[in-house]
Every structure is written in structure tokens, then in C-alpha cells.
């Protein structure tokens, strides 16, 4: 499975708002990419990701998923995408094992598969020793890792991560980044938003820079740096979006 | 099916992991039913078994005042504290000072006025029977009177009942005086003891029958009334926990994640429906079991379970489902837990008040009785009363089943339309 995504002329306006949150956004994510969706606060990153995963419906434009040469239907898309939202999206009153069992079942995974995947994920993410403790008592870093584990319990072909390392310590951040690299090595496409530009620079091979609801730069990271004469992603970011506050 | 089972298991685990919350879901309704039944039981037994304490001041210069107090005491309903030294002006103060609830004041001219009245009746009878040849008009005498003081905390219908009982015994004393006067005026020398005995004791016995269809002879009592009524209230009060639970789930990030999965939020709703319905049924089982097994041991009436168990189970299941569906509807429409809690709790209290859970609907004003017909708690209550008090049949339950089923379907339709409007299903 090697999933690519096409974003074509997406427009979106939140109900009751005068301005468009997304203005004719267009780019593509190639199979096996680690794709950075970057931009200042309020640029439209989360809105775009919400449309890509099906939480919001675009006013116009299309999001298409391809596996090899064939376009995937909506039912199939829901099975091949994994979504890791910025907020903790699990039940704090349940244990990691119970959370993974529930969300795994929502993907129609057999119990045996859920058990083995749970064991594997908790081990890799360093959570085996708290497998049967309520998540509500966990540290921020542990919660982030649980959030991630739930999003990939079904071994998705493409993973969407909205600020997956926000508010965690260096150790947890590195564990998450390493894990994402390992997933990508198995040809999993990753779409990722973050304000940690150094982390994005380490992780992403291609980026789309969004500002005021529009894509202002989109290419391989190295090509963008070269084209804009920037030494790193942060200087590129400031060059293109300016230094003023956005929120 | 696998998803539904997983969702049901998740709901069960969420409940189980909050053991105190789960315990309260059973303990609080049980406590409510206990307290209300005990209170109502003592209220209904007060006239039947407990003596009513009353302060009495007898200033009557004749013997009728004492006779009246003797008869009232002899009835077994009253226990008098005599304080003849009190003046009627001080009686009001005395009640307030001592925290007493009732007092009876018999004025000095009580016997004199009763006797005058007896003479008047006797004269009328003699005139009408042609025994009195005198044409002189019968003079209307002033009516005898007693004064009844009561604390305003007492309910109006209770004080009316007491006044009626006192009135009945005053009539009794008066009748004896009339008989004496008749014998005296007719110059009959024999003492009218036999006649008085027969007239005064020849009161019509009233046999009471609680109407019902069964042969078990269920007697309406505080337990049969209160246990089903307050169990329904407790079931519907689930709106507070379940309504808020739905809002919490919708506002939770897990819900957003669910939208990206091959699963529907309606699945979450159905699993909640199944789990909470099971909880509501368990609440009923627990409360009714306590009514059957424990109430008698603590001096309350034992709860008698209806003979038609299938009909009983049907009403329990429908009531539980109605309570759960209403809670889910509130949770689906509310935008915050505060909205769900506030609206849910107040609406159930209103439905309960209108539905006759607190006071019977027949004593409400006409327009309120019409409104009460739209309370789902009223429909459920009717179902239970038909079975618990009247041993009713399936035919009697027809409208209850139709109304509650209609309510359930309306709630489910409301939930579906709301979720659809929010593009959640």
C-alpha cells in the first residue's frame, strides 16, 4: 500500500464568518512522502487537515486518494487513513489497552490482531509498563504517544498528525519523531503539521507553506530553501510569512 | 456487530472505572424511594394509627364540653392536653410558644347553646306531630360553636378532615341532648338510654373496596404508590448523567477521531442506549427487590409485584427505554454539559410534577390535568399504577404502551435528525 493524495482547489468558509479559511488550495502528496503542512497560527493548516480526513466538508474542490494508479472510494479511504489530532482523542478513564481495543474494533480489526498490535505499539512507544493504568494519570508525553498509537493501530497507508509533539519533553518528542521515521520507512505516507520547524526540517521531505488560507510555497524542502536563499526552514518561514503576530 | 460489542464494552468499562459514580446511580434512587416512602407512609398512617395531639381548653359551664372531649378521646384518634386555665386570647400564643399544631376551645355557653338547640328541635317536632297545642312560634336559638386553632403548616385538607371529625362528634352529643329533650317534653318518664344507644351506635358502616381486575386483592398503600412513582423519577433522572455523558463524548477529541473511521456516531448512541437501559432495569430490579424483601422488616408495607409478570416486565422495559432515549435526546441537543444538566434536571422535575409523581393529577386544576397528559412520566406512572394498584390487563395497558412507544420513537427520530443536521450520521 502506497497512498498519494491530491488536493484540488479546496475552498472553505466557516459558518457565519466573512473570510475564507481556505482559498483555492491545491497541491499533491506523493506516496511515501513525509509532508509538512506548515504556516503561522490561523493560516488554515488544521482546517485543511480536517477536510483531508473527512471531519469537515469543503465548500468546493476535491480531495482524492490514490493507491498505485487507482482512486480510492470514501469507504476505503476511511480504512487507510490514520488521524492523530492535536487534542487528546481517547478516553482518559480507560487504560491504553482498553482504548486501543475500542478504536481497533472501530476499524473492524480482529481481536487477535488488536492484541498483537497493542502489545507491539505499547512496547515501541515505551508504554508497556503502564498498559493497564488509566490514561488520565499519564504525563503529557505518554498521552501524546497513546494518541499516536490509536491513530496507527490499523496500520494505515497514510497518517495525518496535527502537532503530534506539542507540549512534550525532548525524550518523548524524539521517540515520536523516530517512530514516524520508522513508519515512513515502511512506505507509510505522513502528513504533518507543526510549529517546531527544526523538527519539521528533520522529518519532512516536502512541505506546503500556508498563509491566510492559501498555499504560498510548495515543493521539496531542499528546492524551497535553495529558491528562497534561506539557510534553514525557520528563515524560509519568516521570509515568506513575515515577522508580525498572526493571532 | 463487532463494533457494537466493542462500543458496549467501552461504555461498560467507562462506568465500571467510575465505581463511585456507578454506586451513586443505584444508591441515590434507593435512598430517594426509601425516604419518600417512609415520609408518605407516616403521613398516611398518622390518622389511622397514631393519635393526633391536641391542646384542649374546656370553659363549658355544662357537661357537653367534657362529653365531647371524652368522645373524641374515645375515638382513639386524639390525645388531648387539657389546659382549662388558658383564655382563648392566650391560646393562639400558647400554640406558637409550645410549637403545638392544633387546639380546641369549648366556650362557656357550649352546653347552654346545645340545649337551646335541642329544645328548638323538640318544639318543632312536637308542633309538627300535633303534640303541642300551643300556637306560639318556635324561637330560633343561637347556634353552638367551638373554636379550632391550627398551625398554618398543616395542609388544608388535613385540617378540614379534623374539623369534620369534631363536627361529627358534636352532632353525636347534640343528638343525645335532642333525645333527652324530646322525652322530657313528651313527659315520658323512662330514661331514653336504649334509644340513645341505638341511635348513636347505629351508624352506617362503610366498606371500602379498591377497584381492580385481579383476585389478589392488592391494597393501595404508601409502598404500592411511592415505589413505582419514585422509581420512574429516578430512572428519568438519569438524564443528568447520561445527557452530560453524551455531550462530553461529542466534545471529546475521540469523537473527531471517530468521524475519520469507518464507524458512525449513531453506533455510540446505540451502545449508550443499550448499556444505560440495562442500568435502568437494574435500578428497577434493585429498588423493587428492596420493596419486596426489606420494607416489611422496617415497618413499611411490603411491595406486591403484579401477577401479570410479562406485562410488568414490558412496562419496566418501555419506561427504561423512554428514560434513556429522553436523556440521549437532551445530550444530543445540548451544547455543553451545563446545558444538559440544567435543562435535563429541571425538565424531569417538571415532568414529574405534572405527571403526578409528587401529587396525584386529579387534585390539579383542570388545565393542569390536561397538560399532565403530555408528561412521559405520567404515561409510565399510569402503566405501573394499572399493574400495581389495579391488577390491570394488557387491554388496560394499551394506551400506555402506545404513548410510551410513541415517545421513544419521537426521541430516536429527534436524535437521528439532530445528528444528521450536524453531519454526524
**pLDDT attached to residue B211:** 66
Nearest residue of A to residue B15 by CA position? Answer: A93
Is A99 inside any structural domain?
yes
pLDDT higher than 80, residue A207: yes
Q: Which residues in chain A have Cβ-Cβ distances shorter than 8 Å to B261?
A: 78, 103, 106-107
pLDDT tier for residue B48 given thresholds of 50, 70 and 90: low
Q: Which residues pair with A29 in a beta bridge?
A: A5
H helix intervals, B146-264: 156-185, 193-201, 222-236, 239-251, 253-259
φ, ψ of residue B241 in degrees (nearest 5)? -80, -45
A246 in a structural domain: no
Task: Tell me whether residue A181 is in a domain.
Answer: yes
Residue B192 has pLDDT above 90, yes or no: no
pLDDT at B138: 61
Give the range of the structural domain holding residue A216, as residue numbers without chain letter. Answer: 3-241
Query: Which of these, A169, A198, A166, A206, lies nearest to A41 by C-alpha position?
Result: A166
User: Chain A window 124-153: which residues touch B at a Cβ cutoff of 8 Å?
Assistant: 134, 150-151
Q: Is residue A186 part of a domain?
A: yes
Q: CA geometry: angle at A93 spanning A91 and A98, to 5°?
A: 65
Q: Can you give the pLDDT at residue A237? A: 82
The answer for B 1-60 residues in CB contact with A (under 8 A) is 2-3, 5-7, 9-10, 13-14, 17-18
Which pLDDT tens digit goes with each residue over B388-421?
Answer: 888 888 988 999 999 999 999 999 999 999 988 8
Band (B161; pLDDT cuts 50, 70, 90): confident
Do A238 and A39 contact (CB within 8 A), yes or no?
no
pLDDT band at B187 (very low <50, low <70, confident <90, very high): confident
Across A24-28, A176-180, B48-52, B252-256, the highest mean pLDDT is recorded for A24-28
Interface test with A, best of B261, B265, B421 (most A CBs within 10 A): B261
A168 assigned to some structural domain: yes
Size of interface A-B (CB pairs under 8 A): 74
Q: Residues of chain B with pLDDT > 70: what percent?
A: 92
Q: Name which residue leads in pLDDT, B80 or B190.
A: B80
> How far apart are alpha carbons B344 and B339 in whole angstroms?
8
Residues of A in contact with B6 (CB under 8 A): 101-102, 105-106
B254 touches chain A (CB under 8 A): yes
Q: Are residues B254 and A78, on separate chains, in Cβ contact within 8 Å?
A: no
pLDDT tens per residue across span B275-333:
999 999 999 999 999 999 998 888 888 888 888 899 999 999 999 999 999 999 999 99
B81 touches chain A (CB under 8 A): no
What confidence tens digit (pLDDT) does each residue in B119-160 have? 888 888 877 877 766 656 666 767 888 999 988 877 777 888
Torsion-angle region of A213 (φ positive above 0: left; ψ -120 to 50: alpha; else: beta): left
B380: Cβ–Cβ under 8 A, 6 or more apart, which residues? B232, B315, B318, B319, B322, B355, B400, B404
Read off φ and ψ for residue B147, nearest 5 degrees: -115, 135
Q: The domain that contains A88 carries what CATH number?
A: 3.40.50.300
Residue B57 and residue B89: Cα distance in Å, rounded?
A: 11
DSSP code, position A2: -
- Looking at the complex, does the CB of residue A74 fall below 8 Å from at least one CB of chain B? no
Distance CA B391, CA B379 (A): 16
- Yes or no: say if A164 and A144 are a contact pair by the CB < 8 Å rule: yes
Q: In the 8-state DSSP scheme, what is residue B422?
A: T
Asked if A108 lies within 8 A of B253 by C-beta distance, the reply is no
User: Does residue A228 sit within a domain?
Assistant: yes
> What is d(CA B339, CA B336) in angstroms, rounded to the nearest whole number?
5
Structural domains counted in chain A: 1
**Residues A96-112: pLDDT tens digits?**
999 999 999 999 999 99
Question: For all residues of chain A together, what is the average pLDDT?
Answer: 89
Q: What is the pLDDT of residue B139?
A: 66
Kindly compute the dihedral angle of the four CA atoms of residues B17, B18, B20, B25, in this order, to the nearest 10 degrees.
Answer: -110
What pLDDT score does A23 carry? 92
The string of DSSP codes covering A159-216 is: EEEESTTTT--HHHHHHHHHHHHHHHHTT-EEEEE-S-HHHHHHH-SEEEEEETTEEE
Which of B41-45, B56-60, B133-137, B342-346 is predicted least confidently? B133-137
Cell of B273: 442506549
Q: Report residue B256's pLDDT band, with 50, 70 and 90 as the boundaries.
A: confident
> Residue B411's pLDDT is what?
96
Residue A247 located in a structural domain: no
Q: Which residue has the higher pLDDT, B286 or B209?
A: B286
Q: Note the pLDDT tens digit of each residue in A63-77.
A: 999 998 899 998 899
DSSP letter for each residue of A23-65: EEEEEEE-TT-EEEEE-STTSSHHHHHHHHHTSS--SEEEEEE
Query: With contact defined as beta carbons under 8 Å apart, do A181 and A203 qualify?
Result: yes
Closest CA to B216 of B310, B307, B313: B307
Residue B422 contacts A, CB cutoff 8 Å: no
Closest CA to B77 of B50, B43, B37, B98: B50
Residue B66 · residue B42 · CB < 8 Å? no
Cell of residue A87, nine digits = 487534542
Residues of chain B neighbouring A54 (CB-CB closer than 8 A): 259-260
Among A84, A85, A102, A147, most B C-beta atoms within 10 A, so best to mutate, is: A102
Mean local confidence (pLDDT), A43-50: 91
Taking the mean position of all CA atoms in its chain, how far away is CA A44?
A: 14
> Is pLDDT larger for residue B48 or for residue B417?
B417
Average pLDDT of B102-130? 86
Q: Determine contact: B296 vs chain A, CB below 8 A.
A: no
Alpha carbon of B298: minimum distance to chain A alpha carbons (Å): 39
Enumerate the β-bridge partners of residue A10: A25
Nearest residue on chain B to A57, alpha-carbon basis: B423
Closest residue in chain A to residue B252, using alpha carbons only: A89
pLDDT at B271 over 90: yes
Q: Is residue A112 in some structural domain?
A: yes
Q: Which of A48-57, A59-68, A89-98, B92-101 has the lowest mean pLDDT?
A: B92-101
Query: Model confidence over A132-171: pLDDT tens digits?
Result: 999 999 988 899 899 999 999 999 999 999 988 887 788 8
Q: What is the ipTM of this complex?
A: 0.86
For residue B248, give every residue at least 6 positions away whose Cβ sits within 8 Å of its Cβ, in sequence order, or none.
Answer: B337
Contact criterion met (CB < 8 Å) for B260 and A103 = no
Mean pLDDT across the stretch B4-28?
A: 91
Q: Which of B14, B251, B252, B254 to mutate to test the interface with A (most CBs of A within 10 A)?
A: B254
Give the best residue of B6, B7, B21, B422 to mutate against chain A (max A CB count within 10 A).
Answer: B6
Segment of A227-231, B48-52, B404-408 carrying the highest mean pLDDT: B404-408
For residue B213, what pLDDT is reported?
Answer: 66
- For B329-345, what is the mean pLDDT? 92
Taking the CA of residue A161 and the nearest CA in chain B, the distance in Å comes to: 12
Work out the widest C-alpha separation in chain A, in whole angstroms.
53
Average pLDDT across chain B, whole number: 85
Q: Would you give the DSSP letter of residue A133?
A: S
Amino acid at each position: 500500500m502506497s497512498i498519494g493524495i491530491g488536493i484540488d482547489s479546496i475552498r472553505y468558509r466557516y459558518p457565519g464568518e466573512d473570510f475564507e479559511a481556505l482559498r483555492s488550495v491545491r497541491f499533491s502528496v506523493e506516496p511515501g512522502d513525509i509532508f509538512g503542512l506548515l504556516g503561522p497560527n490561523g493560516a488554515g493548516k488544521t482546517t485543511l487537515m480536517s477536510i483531508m480526513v473527512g471531519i469537515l466538508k469543503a465548500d468546493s474542490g476535491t480531495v482524492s486518494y490514490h493507491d498505485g494508479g487507482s482512486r480510492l472510494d470514501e469507504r476505503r479511504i476511511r480504512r487507510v487513513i490514520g488521524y492523530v489530532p492535536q487534542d487528546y482523542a481517547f478516553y482518559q478513564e480507560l487504560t491504553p489497552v482498553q482504548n486501543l481495543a475500542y478504536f481497533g474494533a472501530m476499524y473492524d480489526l480482529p481481536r487477535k490482531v488488536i492484541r498483537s498490535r497493542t502489545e507491539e505499539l505499547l512496547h515501541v512507544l515505551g508504554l508497556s509498563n503502564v498498559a493497564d493504568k488509566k490514561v488520565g494519570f499519564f504525563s503529557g508525553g505518554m498521552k501524546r504517544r497513546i494518541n499516536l498509537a490509536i491513530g496507527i493501530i490499523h496500520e494505515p497507508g497514510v497518517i495525518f498528525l496535527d502537532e503530534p509533539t506539542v507540549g512534550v519533553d525532548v525524550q518523548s518528542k524524539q521517540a515520536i519523531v523516530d517512530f514516524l521515521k520508522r513508519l515512513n520507512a515502511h512506505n507509510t505516507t505522513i502528513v504533518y503539521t507543526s510549529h517546531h520547524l527544526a523538527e519539521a526540517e528533520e522529518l519532512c521531505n516536502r512541505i506546503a507553506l500556508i498563509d491566510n488560507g492559501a498555499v504560498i510555497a510548495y515543493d521539496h524542502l531542499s528546492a524551497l530553501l535553495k529558491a528562497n536563499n534561506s539557510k534553514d526552514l525557520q528563515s524560509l518561514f519568516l521570509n515568506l510569512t513575515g515577522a508580525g503576530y498572526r493571532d | 456487530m463487532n463494533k457494537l460489542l466493542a462500543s458496549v464494552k467501552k461504555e461498560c468499562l467507562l462506568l465500571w472505572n467510575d465505581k463511585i459514580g456507578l454506586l451513586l446511580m443505584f444508591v441515590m434512587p434507593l435512598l430517594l424511594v426509601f425516604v419518600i416512602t417512609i415520609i408518605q407512609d407516616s403521613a398516611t398512617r398518622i390518622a389511622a394509627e397514631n393519635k393526633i395531639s391536641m391542646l384542649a381548653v374546656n370553659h363549658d359551664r355544662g357537661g357537653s364540653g367534657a362529653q365531647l372531649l371524652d368522645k373524641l378521646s374515645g375515638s382513639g384518634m386524639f390525645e388531648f392536653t387539657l389546659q382549662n386555665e388558658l383564655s382563648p386570647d392566650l391560646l393562639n400564643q400558647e400554640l406558637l410558644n409550645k410549637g403545638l399544631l392544633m387546639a380546641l376551645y369549648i366556650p362557656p355557653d357550649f352546653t347552654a347553646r346545645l340545649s337551646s338547640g335541642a329544645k328548638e328541635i323538640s318544639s318543632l317536632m312536637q308542633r309538627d306531630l300535633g303534640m303541642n297545642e300551643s300556637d306560639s312560634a318556635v324561637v330560633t336559638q343561637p347556634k353552638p360553636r367551638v373554636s379550632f386553632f391550627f398551625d398554618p403548616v398543616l395542609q388544608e385538607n388535613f385540617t378540614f378532615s379534623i374539623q369534620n371529625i369534631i363536627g361529627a362528634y358534636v352532632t353525636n352529643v347534640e343528638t343525645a341532648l335532642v333525645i333527652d329533650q324530646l322525652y322530657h317534653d313528651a313527659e315520658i318518664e323512662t330514661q331514653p338510654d336504649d334509644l340513645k344507644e341505638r341511635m348513636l351506635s347505629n351508624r352506617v358502616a362503610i366498606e371500602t373496596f379498591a377497584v381492580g381486575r385481579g383476585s389478589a386483592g392488592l391494597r393501595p398503600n404508601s409502598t404500592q404508590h411511592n415505589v413505582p412513582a419514585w422509581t420512574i423519577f429516578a430512572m428519568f433522572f438519569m438524564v443528568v448523567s447520561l445527557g452530560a455523558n453524551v455531550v462530553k463524548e461529542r466534545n471529546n477529541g475521540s469523537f473527531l477521531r471517530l468521524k475519520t473511521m469507518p464507524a458512525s456516531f449513531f453506533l455510540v448512541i446505540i451502545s449508550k442506549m443499550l448499556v444505560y437501559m440495562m442500568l435502568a432495569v437494574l435500578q428497577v430490579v434493585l429498588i423493587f427487590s428492596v420493596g419486596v424483601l426489606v420494607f416489611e422488616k422496617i415497618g413499611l408495607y411490603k411491595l406486591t409485584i403484579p401477577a401479570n409478570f410479562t406485562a410488568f416486565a414490558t412496562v419496566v422495559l418501555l419506561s427504561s427505554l423512554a428514560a434513556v432515549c429522553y436523556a440521549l435526546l437532551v445530550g444530543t441537543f445540548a451544547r455543553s454539559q451545563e446545558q444538559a444538566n440544567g435543562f435535563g434536571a429541571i425538565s424531569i422535575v417538571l415532568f414529574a410534577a405534572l405527571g403526578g409523581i409528587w401529587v396525584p393529577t386529579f387534585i390539579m386544576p383542570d388545565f393542569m390535568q390536561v397538560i399532565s397528559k403530555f408528561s412521559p412520566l405520567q404515561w409510565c406512572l399510569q402503566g405501573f399504577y394499572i399493574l400495581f394498584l389495579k391488577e390491570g390487563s394488557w387491554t388496560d395497558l394499551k394506551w400506555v404502551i402506545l404513548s410510551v412507544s410513541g415517545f421513544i420513537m419521537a426521541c430516536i427520530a429527534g436524535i437521528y435528525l439532530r445528528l444528521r443536521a450536524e453531519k454526524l450520521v
